[in-house]
Amino acid sequence: MYYCIVNPSARSGKGKEIWEKLEQKFLNKGIEYTTYLTKGPGDGTSIANIITSNNNKHSSSESDKSTAGNAPVKLVVLGGDGTLNEVINGIADFNKTLVGYIPIGSSNDFARDLSYPKDTDTLLDTVLQGKTVRKLDLGKLTFNTMTKPLSRLHETEVSNTRIFDVSCGIGFDAAVCEEALSSGTKNFLNKIGLGKLTYGLIAIRQLLKADRIPCDIELDNGQTVHLKHFIFIAAMIHHYEGGGFNFAPKADLSDGKFDLVYAGDMPKLRMIFALPFSFFGNYYWIKGIGHHVAGKVTIKTMLPMWVHTDGEVSVKSDNITLECLKEKLQLMC
């Protein structure tokens, strides 16, 4: 049995249409499946939690002891990075869950590192083999403090912990994501096939109005990095975020550590200068850009700032902890 969680709003409302074409593959092969269409923020999390919780309860029942734990739950996600993030935040037991992902979002940073075929039919063929192709790290964000103001698009209930699969950032990059979530510019550019430009345009605007706030970065080796004026800090599992910015060109997707990158104590114009270089993963040489590899980090800022997980933004915080969970995600693609 495959459980297909589809975001019909993905790719400017074409998500359902794309799914209906792919659905024929299930029908032609006679593969059992159930479809769930998300309707709003948080739906992917709720659906995934119900599916994985119910299946885990069933597999441990008295009547099913002979197969308990042997049949993993198979989730197939059609959507963008945000939809995938919601789903993984709902998984009750990663050890008993396999995930297949068909990227049809505007940024698709998760899939960018994985050499996915552009043809969704080919990708789905791999998923339908139902086997673990690879295991990837996940990150865990803990809000040590949370503010009451919520983002423009947020879930009904905001948890003090979140799982992420691509990156987690605080400051400038999260502010860009928060604006992009409800941006008319993003919707327009998506319709004309230029959705990737959204983040670049918003990034320049956010940089120019960014506050100059100090922060401390506490690394798991005991080192503390102090920035008088930080711009952004990002814990990267994958190489890319923000629709293709190669912030962590040397990131290892399964080493149990983040590539922590940050920008601070630099003029805003220098950061604007650095953006094109970061797109190609060649910007560590610029003064004010920092890089560390760590399995756990705590970030404290003087004022609460927006925080994102895989581009999803809920609240601001001035104290967060990030942990890398080694090879937690089992992918069928």
**pLDDT more than 90, % of the chain:** 65
- pLDDT at position 204 is 73
Q: In terms of Cα–Cα distance, which of 217, 215, 247, 242 is closest to 230?
A: 215
Helix (H, G, I), strand (E, B) or coil at 271: helix
Q: What is the pLDDT of residues 5-53, one digit of tens each?
A: 999 988 878 899 999 999 999 999 999 999 999 998 889 999 999 999 9
Q: What is the pLDDT of residues 69-86, one digit of tens each?
A: 578 999 999 999 999 999
What number does CATH give the domain 2-131?
3.40.50.10330
Q: In terms of Cα–Cα distance, which of 198, 294, 313 is closest to 237?
A: 294
Tell me the range of 9-13, 210-214, 268-272, 326-330 where mean pLDDT is highest: 326-330
CA–CA distance, 198 with 107 (Å, rounded to integer): 9
Which residue has tokens 């479809």?
35
- Taking CA atoms, 123 is separated from 22, 23, 33, 118, in Å, by 10, 13, 17, 8
Stretch (H or E) spanning 206: helix 197-209
Structure tokens at 306: 């927006």
- pLDDT at position 197 is 57
- pLDDT at position 84 is 96
Q: Cβ(280)–Cβ(246) under 8 Å?
A: yes
Q: What is the pLDDT of residues 289-314, one digit of tens each?
A: 999 999 999 999 999 999 999 988 88
If phi over 0 gives left and psi between -120 and 50 gives alpha, with beta otherwise, what is residue 115? left
| pLDDT over 90 (residue 63) | no
Q: What is the pLDDT of residues 102-126, one digit of tens each?
A: 999 877 899 998 989 889 999 999 9
What number does CATH give the domain 139-328?
2.60.200.40
- Lowest average pLDDT, out of 146-150, 247-251, 325-329, goes to 146-150
Helix (H, G, I), strand (E, B) or coil at 124: helix
- Lowest average pLDDT, out of 38-52, 104-118, 171-185, 227-241, goes to 171-185
> Domain residues of the chain, as ranges?
2-131, 139-328
Average pLDDT, the chain: 87
- pLDDT at position 190 is 52
Predicted confidence band at 152 (pLDDT cuts at 50, 70, 90)?
low
- pLDDT at position 260 is 97
